[in-house]
Amino acid sequence: MPINILLADDHAMMRDGLKSILENDLHMHVIAQAENGRNAVAMALLHKPDVIVMDITMPDLNGIEATRQILAEQPASKIIALSMHTEKHFITDMLEAGASAYILKQNAADELEHALNAILSNRIYISPRISDIVIKDYVRRVQEQKEHSNPLTPKEREVLQLLAEGKASKEIAHILGSSVNTIETHRKHIMEKLKLYTIAELTKYAIREGLTQL
């Protein structure tokens, strides 16, 4: 049974080219076409295609908003973002809207089959030319979340690990080349920030955060 596809792009020549690839080369069925985002939403809700190939920059309603609206009504739909844009905000906005793939127009002929194979296997596909942008953005967000969830400075985390491993302030001071007073100050700040006031509580926290092991 062929995969039913909706094409949404404001350029007729682009739609014709994609239709030719999908039907002649990949043996899929283009059941409808849309020239703007609002029409894409209407066509998607009417025809319920398996896959929607969605241009990002279209008149009347852009592809990002169209994706959000379609997936709000049909969360099982698979959407391939099609764009000339390599800027981070276009990529992340489209993926956050729920697109399963992001490919570049200039590489569509080569990447469309890879993207379809991926999303039909419930995987994400990102054009290799922009994958590093996505990875860097992901790493940045993870780091920001960690910094927000863990109020300790790197030095305080170092001291906490040593405390959790049973070392006394004098021993920690020797290891870190600091004074005992400095270590006691770090210890006080750690307890105040975490609102944990016993070594047992600090040890549990350190284990949970992966600073040390049992």
Q: What is the pLDDT of residues 25-44, one digit of tens each?
A: 999 999 999 999 999 999 99
Residue 23: its pLDDT value, please?
94
DSSP E strand stretches across 25-135: 29-34, 51-55, 78-83, 101-104, 125-126
Q: Is CATH 3.30.365.10 correct for 4-141?
A: no
pLDDT tens-digit series, residues 162-210: 999 999 999 999 999 999 999 999 999 999 998 999 999 999 989 988 8
The share of the chain scoring above pLDDT 90, in percent, equals 72
Residue 135: its pLDDT value, please?
78
Quote the CA–CA distance of 93 and 89 in Å, as a whole number: 6
CATH number for the domain formed by residue range(s) 150-208: 1.10.10.10
**Domain ranges (residues) in the chain:** 4-141, 150-208
What would the two tokens of residue 209 be? 């955060």
Residue 17 has pLDDT above 70, yes or no: yes
Residue 146 has pLDDT above 70, yes or no: no
Residue 128 has pLDDT above 70, yes or no: yes
Residue 148: its pLDDT value, please?
62
